[in-house]
Amino acid sequence: MLNFIWAGFIVTALFAACWQAIATGDGAVFGVMTKAMFDSAKTGFEISIGLTGVMTLWLGIMQIAERGGFIQLLSRALAPLFSRLFPEIPAGHPALGSMSMNIAANALGLDNAATPLGLKAMQELQELNPVKNTASNAQILFLVINTASVTLFPVTVFAYRAQMGAANPTDVFIPILLATYVSTLSGIVLTALIQRLKLFDPVVLAYLGGLSALVALAGWWFLQLPPAQMQQQSALVSNLALLGMIGTFIVGALLKKVDVYEAFIDGAKEGFHTSVRIIPYLVAMLLAIALLRASGALELAIGAIRSLVNGAGFDARWVDGLPTGIMKTLSGGGAKAMMLDSMQQHGADSFVGRLVSVIQGSSETTFYVLAVYFGSVGIKRTRYAAGCGLFADVVGFAAAVAVCYAFFG
């Protein structure tokens, strides 16, 4: 799919440029596009290299968390809930453990650990699937949770915001938590209703109701503050949470006699390699977006939507975040490039810069997850999996817009 998206952007840009040159009789647009092409390559390289330090830091910390047993701890905490949401899985089946560990790894931002665990869980679920080419209820719900999974520590978003010059890269932490929780809850509830699961089971109510109450309380607390104080308190809570997390990981790992320094170095090495590996992918997507923007095609589409929103009497600043929201369902790399492009155009601390950060941190790439997870076990009939995943994406985007207006005006 990414192949068609990338080629489609470039072909659309070329057609738009040719139409503009013919309509105006001025071929200056081709010079603008050529400059944008080389500038995007330079920008992609600079961003990737600039990320090296931040990615080394966070992957080092997360390696300490992994060796300290925090994934296993979180997975044990989720086990009672999962046994109710997946009633067709026998008690004690290895799939429950793999799914819990996958969700726990996703929540901690450990993508490298989450994907293998997710694929393992899908294979174990396939063993219980009576119709091998058709997704089972358990596989669908597991996939929907993955596509809208709660990320407690969106460290990658913080890293990109720091690289793009944000004064306080973590000031989007609370908004991301609120948006990603709403997205995940909506996906779970819709899928559970379709599957007729017992949402009013005492254990399910205790988990989902308790988490919802905490999120609602946090939202109420921040929303009743004056705007300036809200941002100040949000930044304070975000920083304390992150520092507290790091301290907890290190102390917990030390108590388990983990060599935390060695663990940090091992994770940091992976951070360096990760930053280098993304250079070609980031340059490729930034190139396509730069050509689309320089040709005038992107602004034409966004401008048309903005005019409709303004005509209806609403504030239209959120429209500039729409390309990132749409791209997020299709391609993680494409959405990341869209986010960086928006930050570059509007500023990391602008409303749009913060909005795209929240969008990036509050959902997963639905079609990618669907293709990889179901493709790994040969499932061809996905039933309502894509619909539920996209529903969670739409709700997540709306929640991201709402919390950004609430927190950043």
Query: What confidence score (pLDDT) does residue 138 get?
Result: 93
Query: What confidence score (pLDDT) does residue 112 get?
Result: 55
d(CA 397, CA 400): 5
- Answer whether residue 253 is part of any domain: yes
Query: Would the pTM count as exceeding 0.85?
Result: no
Q: Which residue has the tokens 């600039």?
A: 50
- The answer to whether the CB of 396 falls within 8 A of the CB of 361 is no
Query: What confidence score (pLDDT) does residue 231 get?
Result: 66
The total of structural domains in the chain comes to 1
**Maximum separation of any 2 CA atoms in the chain, in Å:** 72
Q: Read off the pLDDT of residues 248-273 as tens digits, 9 standing for 90 and up.
A: 889 999 999 999 999 999 888 877 77
* Residue-range definition of the domain harbouring residue 138: 34-73+124-282+320-408
- Answer whether residue 92 is part of any domain: no
Query: What confidence score (pLDDT) does residue 254 get?
Result: 94
Residues of the chain with pLDDT under 50: none
**Which residue type, as a one-letter code, is found at position 172?**
V
Helix (H, G, I), strand (E, B) or coil at 35: helix
- Answer whether residue 275 is part of any domain: yes
Helix (H, G, I), strand (E, B) or coil at 347: coil
- Answer whether residue 259 is part of any domain: yes
- Answer whether residue 137 is part of any domain: yes
Query: What confidence score (pLDDT) does residue 373 get?
Result: 81
- Answer whether residue 292 is part of any domain: no
DSSP state for residue 209 in the 8-state scheme: I
- Answer whether residue 167 is part of any domain: yes
- Answer whether residue 391 is part of any domain: yes
* Helical (H) or strand (E) element with 27: none
